[in-house]
Structure 1
Amino acid sequence: MAIRQTTHSSAPATKRSLVLHQLVESIKKGQWTVNTLLPTEAQLQSMFGVSRHTVRGALADLQQMGLVASQQGVGTRVIRRRAAPGYSQSLQNISELAYYARNTSVQTLEVEDVQLNASEAEMLEAQVGDPWCHAITLRMADGQSVPMGLSSVWVPSESRKAIAASRRSGMPVFMEVQKLHKLMVNEVRQVIGATVADAGQSRLLRCELREPLLRIRRWYFDINHRVLEMSDTYHPPGRFEYSVTLHHGIAHPHAHAQHN
């Protein structure tokens, strides 16, 4: 199956975009049905006559569209026939949390230096009076007209520069913390819940007062189980979706941001 050049678009088509288009069409037409595996990277290389780099890029785009999910050692599985609207992201390990930022942008609304009170210290597994930095951010998915998420982000005061770096780069704060201190996040604990929008959240997220919100809290730990960052994020309905596929002994989460 050689890639076919299309001429109706004014933008020049890349090999990656052509492979992506044909994969999308094949999935839509049922050549590969939901819950079946796509051919291997090597097989796709042969089918389309392109490099492994091109194939991997097209598969990453498919995953971003929410059509497939990759499982190391198993392959790339079709999870839906038609793309989810807006931004889609498969989250399976810590490194892929960085991919979340590629098609989104972040706006930092507020940054303040604080000394932790009792409730904050308990939340951050720190000591009362410890110096920390607290930021409020909004994140937008490409093509969205309203924010997909409002975050409260906490880092120890020595990592304050990571918040400014995140504002410049658009990358998640934990990635900038890793660069700043030349260390790695060893573990991420995630808690998913629900709440309703208060007046401030409804204003910033442009949603209704007391509208239900998906709440995702994440704690990022180093190898010594010290909190490097904590984020508390709120998503209105229809703008972000979080799903988990369960296998024997393995959980594969997928996150999707959607247009209203």
Structure 2
Amino acid sequence: MNTPRTPVWKSIAATLEGDIASGHYAPGDKLPTEAALAARFGVNRHTVRRALADLGGRGILRSRRGAGVFVEAPPTDYPIGRRVRFHQNIRAAGRLPEKTVLRLETRPCDAAEARALTLAAGAPVVVYEGLSLAGRVPIAQFRSLFPEHRVPGMRQTLDQVTSVTEALQRNGIPDYVRAETRVTAVRADATQALHLRLREGDPLIRTTSVNREPDGPPIEYGITWFAGDRVTLTVSHD
């Protein structure tokens, strides 16, 4: 009796799944191109595409149009409470926290920023924008604004460290608390999709928040766009 042969695409899928399980490709890593995989396995690209589709259907891989195929990462738990600390949250989830700075400048605040930070219209603010990563996977794009006159050394400090908590401590603010958080569902625009390795129109969770000194005025107004399938936001009532 002849033993049925395993379809080649299933063998390729099993091999790639083994590579991922062995850590050869970590969560967030980009796989080689279809052409490179076809050359590796000695097959045509259609066969590779079927193997990748199988892994994608089982939640192991995610294809991002124009960017490639990536190893999927489980959602990161991200608590939001009275004290929200990015590096602490990510480490608690067992991931390595990182930030990539996209913009750091001082400019006049707009009307919404002035209201949030209780500033006069046009008062100077330090704008800090970047990407938040967990284990090399971008999970959010953020924009934080700090009133220059309340934290006069913030821009210079953020040139040296990426942690907001550490930067505030270096400027004489040892503690701060979350005054409010608003959560909204939005869609990724083209730039956000590029930064977060998503497709334009993919779901994002936008949080708008104000942090203040425990008994003082607001010191940070922040907007964060989380990749909707990479975080689980947990609101605590501490």
The 1-side partners of 2:111 and 2:141 are apart by 24
Aligned counterpart for 2:179 among listed residues 181, 184, 188? 188
| Structure 2 unaligned spans of 5+ | 1-72
Letter in 1 for 2:193: S
CA drift at 1:183:
4.3
| Structure 1 unaligned spans of 5+ | 1-83, 246-250, 253-260
TM-score computed with the length of structure 1 as normaliser:
0.53
CA contact (8 A) 1:106 1:140 kept: yes
Q: Look up the match of 1:126.
A: 119
Q: Look up the match of 1:104.
A: 97
The 1-side partners of 2:98 and 2:175 are apart by 23
Aligned counterpart for 1:240 among listed residues 220, 231, 238? 231
The 2-side partners of 1:93 and 1:187 are apart by 5
Q: How does 1:84-95 map to 2 (within 5 A)?
A: 85=74, 87-94=76-83
Letter in 1 for 2:233: Y
CA drift at 1:190:
1.5
1:86-112 CA-to-partner distances (Å, cap 9, x unmatched) read 644545541755512542100111112
Q: How does 1:156-167 map to 2 (within 5 A)?
A: 156-158=147-149, 159=151, 161-162=153-154, 165-166=157-158
CA contact (8 A) 1:108 1:167 kept: no
The 1-side partners of 2:141 and 2:85 are apart by 20
The 1-side partners of 2:86 and 2:127 are apart by 21
Q: How does 1:13-32 map to 2 (within 5 A)?
A: none
The alignment status of 1:215 with 2:206, answered yes or no, reads yes
TM-score computed with the length of structure 2 as normaliser:
0.57
1:122-174 CA-to-partner distances (Å, cap 9, x unmatched) read 24332102111112110110152xx1000011011243643554564442x14
CA drift at 1:220:
0.7
CA contact (8 A) 1:174 1:228 kept: no
Q: Look up the match of 2:169.
A: 178
> Which protein shows a greater Rg?
2
The alignment status of 1:135 with 2:128, answered yes or no, reads yes
Residue range with higher mean Cα deviation, 212-221 or 174-183? 174-183
The alignment of Structure 1 onto Structure 2 pairs a total of residues equal to 161
User: Secondary structure at 2:106's aligned position in 1?
Assistant: strand
CA drift at 1:243:
2.9
The 2-side partners of 1:101 and 1:160 are apart by 28
1:185-212 CA-to-partner distances (Å, cap 9, x unmatched) read 1443211111111222222222122222
CA contact (8 A) 2:117 2:219 kept: no
The alignment status of 1:197 with 2:194, answered yes or no, reads no
Percentage of identical aligned residues:
19
